[in-house]
Amino acid sequence: MSSLLWQRFPVEPGLHTLELKDRLQERIMKETRGASPEALVAYFRKASHRFWDEVGCAHPGSEASPMMVHDGDQSSDRE
């Protein structure tokens, strides 16, 4: 990534990113414990919309295609 991009994000003294990541990950695990795959997709879509709203940008459009492709689902033309 370019240095111009990183200039938009000033260094915040006292910010402990790994600690923040751990707390957020724990919160997500609590909020989604026992959720069905459909509920997980809905949870993260809602979180994505909140993120883009907070950033002040329009969120990217979502596709109807599956969010994840398993190796077994891919065609063998890669081999």
Say what the pLDDT of residue 26 is. Answer: 97
pLDDT for the residue 55 = 81
Task: List pLDDT tens digits, range 6-17.
Answer: 788 878 888 888
The band of 32, judged by pLDDT with boundaries at 50, 70 and 90, is very high
Residue 22 pLDDT more than 80? yes
> Rounded mean pLDDT of 21-42?
95
Taking CA 71 as the corner, what is the angle to CA 68 and CA 76, rounded to the nearest 5 degrees?
A: 125
Which candidate, 32, 23, 27, 37, places its Cα nearest to that of 67?
A: 37
Decide which of 36 and 71 is more confident.
Answer: 36
Q: What is the pLDDT of residues 37-79, one digit of tens each?
A: 999 999 999 998 888 888 887 777 655 455 555 555 555 554 4
Q: Which of 37, 43, 36 is nearest to 66 (CA)?
A: 37
